[in-house]
Amino acid sequence: MKIVTYNVNGLRQRITQFGSLRNLLNSFDADIICLQETKLRRQEVTADLVMADGYESFFSCTRTSDKGRTGYSGVATFCRVKSAFSSEEVALPLAAEEGFTGLIGNSLAGKNELPFFMEGLLGFSNEELLSVDSEGRCIITDHGHFVLFNLYGPRADSDDTERIQFKRNFFTILQKRWESLLYQGRKIFVVGDLNIAPQAIDRCEAGPDFENDEFRRWFRSMLLENGGQFFDVFRAKHPDRKEAYTCWPQNTGAEVFNFGTRIDHILCARSCLHVADDLEGHDFIRCHVKECDILTQYKRCKPGSNMSAQRWKEGRSIKLEGSDHAPVYVTLHEIPNLSQHSTPPLSARYVPMVRGLQQTLVSVLTKRRVSEQMRSCKMSGLPTDEDIVTGSTCERVKGSFDNSECDVLSSQDSETNLESNEQSGSSSQEAVPSVSSGIEYDKVVPGKSNRSKKKARSSQCSQLSLMSFFKKSTNVDNVVKDSRTDIQAESSQLDHYSNEASTVANQTGSSEQYELRTDVCEEASEFTDDSKRKESNNVALLEWQRIQQLMQNSIPLCKGHKEPCIARVVKKQGPNFGRRFYVCARAEGPASNPEANCGYFKWATSKSKN
């Protein structure tokens, strides 16, 4: 049996990277796959994001929007099974639970009592307990022989007292749940990104006070060697391995030099599954854990690859595909099957919104508004959705029948009106005929499509007389300036010719006149637009080149490599928020490596000394 834990840093991105959710899951060849930081909002969860053939899934999403945390975290557990409805497989859980306080299910059912294992937490209110589970950080699955916790631990900056307290509450309540299960004799597996590197060996160039952090001390207190009941499975298998990291900062290129930290863990508690009189020397690690390691092939930057070298030599112009974490796996053996059982109700297959049966409030209101608009158009005699060509919509209907207006005229109606004008030889000054009596279209606004633009332009051009063609037009003045000067010099002759042409047009119809004027208008307008666009683009290009040159001249050189730095902006709230600064462009790495980042820093507002 194989269990994998992986912080995907956005499930959508990983699905896109692998082509489908099933391809992503199959790449691990594992029985249970626990994902963290899915970044899925509950109202956006669809079947293609949480369901795949051959897998049963259980997910939890953020239920709060405090400080923009909607879609911020999220976890999902995928269990590979052959049959979901009647199976003996250990991978298919007997039960599943969202969160670990036990209150999410109660709140949905309208209950208010605390679970029995929370009776010792008298210092916490129900609101505080629920807030711990409100960020979608835990899924618990009961696999009979053990209970599996899929966790995404909260992160807290050293100066953020509110999040530090939240993180403290999170692990305090979580520990209480573990103790309750262990008291019942249950065996526990804890997997996920806990956002804690327990020892100095688990962090690149850890400082002297690194292990004094309260959360690192808490983590170590839970381990068997310090009086706790948990094994750190990776360290149990590889006690002295250095530079075994699972996470690397995204914005510093630290993965190039493997300058990271180990915060993704697999923990297990209690004895082995064997039943014997003498269990001395038996424990879960010796009896059931075959291997535990880091899947470094999932790293964004592979050690020794050409892309790795180019990444730090040329800055960050090369985009790396993948998460900023690497998966961790454990392989178990001698895990017996279970009795026949079916999928727990928490499975994604039973969630209505995943199956497409639930609509969001926005979609309902949008459909209702469109329906009301179409009904109003139909009652007023305006074109409905059956009459309007794609790209043209009746935006609004206001007032009574006498002053109704439709802001956008469909290309189909425009074409029909043009044809009727040509056949009847109507004057260019006449308004466009209304669809029904008593309704006038005050203006014609071109649609978004190219066809509707051309139709609207043709409609406007066809309403001009031949006489107006020879008059000076502000629209095409810049295009035909020279020829128009000659034409104006012979205005008397042109008046004579235009009168004759107008008479002929009235006798023979306006089709030739319409075609001539349409071609001239379109060509002149397009030529004018292209000229203005090219001139504008040239001006913008020259200005941008000037700005780039100024920026290039102001970029300092780093002290360690004498290379141009890169500019960054402070994004953390505080007195320096939004302020620009310069740092060495190379990837972050050990201070002993001269090829790595030299640590140069300079505020952009200060004067350069180079």
**DSSP reduced 3-state for 603:** strand
Name the pairing type of β-strands 580-583 and 566-569. antiparallel
The 10 Å CB-count burial string (b at 16+, else e) for 25-35 is: bbbbebbbbbb
Transcribe 29-71 into DSSP letters: T-SEEEEE----BGGG--HHHH--TTEEEEEE-B---GGG-TT
515 annotated binding-site participant: no
Question: In the chain, what is the greatest distance between 2 CA atoms, to the nearest angstrom?
Answer: 122
What torsion do the CA atoms of 373, 374, 377, 378 make, to the nearest 10 degrees?
A: -150
Give CA–CA dist 14/293, Å, rounded: 21
Q: Answer for the pair 49, 16: CB distance below 8 angstroms, yes or no.
A: no
**DSSP reduced 3-state for 10:** coil
Cα–Cα distances in angstroms (integers) from residue 271 to residues 13, 177, 287, in the given order: 39, 18, 9
Catalytic residue among 55, 72, 152, 600: 152
324 annotated binding-site participant: yes
Catalytic (active site) residue 402: no
Distance, C-alpha 502 to centroid of its chain: 62
Q: Answer for the pair 3, 30: CB distance below 8 angstroms, yes or no.
A: yes
Closest by CA position to 58, among listed 40, 41, 39, 34: 34
Name the pairing type of β-strands 95-98 and 289-294. unpaired
132 φψ region: left (φ > 0), alpha (ψ -120 to 50), beta (else): alpha
Q: Answer for the pair 128, 146: CB distance below 8 angstroms, yes or no.
A: no
Cα–Cα distances in angstroms (integers) from residue 570 to residues 336, 547, 550, 574, 603, in the given order: 54, 22, 22, 9, 10
Catalytic (active site) residue 157: no
**Two tokens at 257?**
């030099």
Angle in degrees, 0-180, between the axes of helices 161-183 and 126-133, rounded to the nearest 10:
90
Give CA–CA dist 526/453, Å, rounded: 12
Cα–Cα distances in angstroms (integers) from residue 452 to residues 225, 422, 439, 462, in the given order: 76, 19, 22, 15
**Two tokens at 54?**
């051959």
Catalytic (active site) residue 152: yes
CB atoms closer than 10 angstroms to residue 70: 16
Q: Answer for the pair 147, 186: CB distance below 8 angstroms, yes or no.
A: yes
Catalytic residue among 143, 265, 288, 325: 325
What torsion do the CA atoms of 120, 122, 128, 129 make, to the nearest 10 degrees?
A: 20
Q: Answer for the pair 158, 207: CB distance below 8 angstroms, yes or no.
A: no
Give CA–CA dist 431/360, Å, rounded: 44
Q: Answer for the pair 82, 91: CB distance below 8 angstroms, yes or no.
A: no
325 annotated binding-site participant: yes
Tell me the catalytic residues: 152, 193, 325
Residue list, annotated binding site for Mg(2+): 7, 37, 193, 195, 324-325
Residue list, annotated binding site: 7, 37, 193, 195, 324-325
